[in-house]
Amino acid sequence: MTSIERSYFEQCALASGLLNEKQLDEARAGVRWSQGDVTDANAPPTDNQLADRLVESGVLNAWQAKQLLDGRTKFNLGSYWIVDSIGKGGMGQVFKAQQNKVGPIMAVKVLPRDKCTPEAIANFNREIRALASLNHPSLVRALDAGKDGKVHYLVTEYIPGVDLRKLVRHAGPLGMTAAANIIHQVAEGLGHAHSTGIIHRDVKPGNVIVTPDGVAKLSDLGLAGPFESSAENDPRYGRIVGTADYLSPDQVKSPWNPTPTWDIYALGCTLYYIVTGKVPFPGGTTADKARAHCELRPLDPRLLNPRLTPEFLDMMADMMAKDPEHRIPSAAAVIERLKPWMPGGPLADAPSGALGEYAQPKRPLTPPIAMHAMAGRRAVAPAQADQAPLADTKVDFPELPQINESHDSSSKGVVTILDLLDEQESSEEMQIPVSVDWMPIITPMLFLILVIPLALVITVLLIWWIFQLII
C-alpha cells in the first residue's frame, strides 16, 4: 500500500515513528474482522475505528491515539520519547517518557510555548537549579534538563502514585496515623531543602505524590526561592506567590521576608486538608482567602472528622499559628511533634500507616462554611443523644450547624455545598496589593448598630412627610 492510499491518521502514525506499516496493516485487518456486519469487507476502516483497534491491541495507548487523531507527529524531546500525559499545572505540563524508547519511565515537565516569556524561562531554569541542588528520598529527584527547539523541559524521576489531593478526593479524609506518616515524610524533605537555603513556597496536597505503599515525595519547586532573596536574585521578590488556600499570613503581609515558617504553615494547611477533606478557608476569591489566613480561624476539624483527638488538633494548630513566633519553628520540630501518631506510636489510631485501610468515610456529616460568613457569631450544632461533646483544646475553633443526612450527596446524588467549596488547583502569583488594608469583616452586631439607627431616622422622616401631606 502506498502512502497516498493511507489515511491522514495513518500518515501521522508513520511520521511519528510510533508505528510501522506492518502494525497498521494488522490493525486494518483486525477492524475488518471485528466488523462482521460491514457490507463491503474491503472498505477501509475509519480513523477512529483504526485508533480504537490499536489501543485495544496495546500498540498505542489512549493518549497517543488522541494525539495522532489530532494530527500531531512529534513525540520526542531530544532523546526522550513521550509515552503518555501525567497532568497539567500552573507551571507547565508533565508527561511520562523513556530515553531512546527504552529503560525506566521518567517524568518530563515541559514549559508551554505560550508561557515561554523571558521571565517564565528564568523561573523554569531556577527550578532546574533548585532541584539539582537537592538530593533527598522525600523530594522528587531531577535527572536531566534540556531544550528542543523552543521547548524547555525538565526530566525528573517518575513516582508511580497519585497526588494527595486526588487521593483524598477519591478515598476520603485520612486517619491520624496515615496522615502523620505522610506529613512526616514531607517534613523530612522540607527540612533538607531548608538546610540548603531553599523555601518551597507552594507546599500543598497537589504537590505531594504518594505511592501505593505509602511513600510520599514532595514535588514541583517551580516557585522555590532562597531565604536571602532580593530583587536581583529572585524575580518574584516582594510578590505573593503560591496557592491561595495554603498561604501563610506572614507570606501575605511580608512577601519580601521569606522564611522556612511559610512552608510550615502551608504544611499545616495540607495536614488540615488530608484529615478533613476540605481546605481551612473554603469559598471566596483569592483576596478573601488571603485575608482569612491573616484574620480568621479555621473551622473545627473535628466537625468534619470526629475521630481527631484534641492532642492532634493542638499539634496541627501550632503548625497553622498565624503569628510565626507561635508557629512550630522548623521541619525538624514538626517531625518531633508527629512522632506520637506515627505507626507504633503511643497515640497512633491504627497499627500501621497504610493508606486507604484507615481512611475516614468519603463524605463528612457537616458541610464547611466560608469563614467570612462565620465571623462574629458562633452557631451551635444541635445536640445528639449519641454524640459526646467536643473536648476542649487550646484553639477556639468556630462550630458549624449540622445538616440532615438525607441531603448527603453521596446517597442522593444531590449537589451540596460539599461539592462546591474546593481548593484552588493552580499555583499562581497572587493579585493582592502588598499594602492591602485588612479591614475587619462586618459582623451581625455591627450590622445592627449601623442599620437600626438609619432605619429609625428614615421612618421618622417618612411619618413627618405623611403628616405634612394630611395637614
Q: Give the active site residues.
A: 202
CA angle 237, 239, 242 (to 5 degrees): 110
At 307 the three-state DSSP class reads: coil
3-class state of residue 2 by DSSP: coil
Helices (H), 296-370: 310-319, 331-338
Angstrom distance (rounded) from CA 288 to CA 290: 6
Beta strands in 359-465, from DSSP E residues, in sequence order: 428-429
**Residue whose entry in the numeric block shows the C-alpha cell 422622616:** 461
d(CA 319, CA 234): 27
Could you write out the DSSP letters of every residue in 205-232? GGGEEE-TTS-EEE---TT-EESS--TT
What does DSSP say about strands 142-148 and 151-157: parallel, antiparallel, or unpaired?
A: antiparallel
Q: What residues contact residue 124 under an 8 Å CB cut-off, 6+ apart?
A: 91, 92, 111, 152, 154, 222
Give the residues across from 241 on adjacent strands: 429
CA distance 364 to 382: 16
> In the 3-class helix/strand/coil scheme, how is 9-32 assigned residue by residue?
HHHHHHHHCCCCHHHHHHHHHHHH
Length of the chain: 471
Angle of CA points 417, 421, 426, to nearest 5°: 160
Task: Say whether 336 sits in a helix, a strand or coil.
Answer: helix
Look up residue 365 and give its three cell numbers: 456529616
Cell of 409: 450527596
Q: What is the largest CA-CA distance in the chain?
A: 104
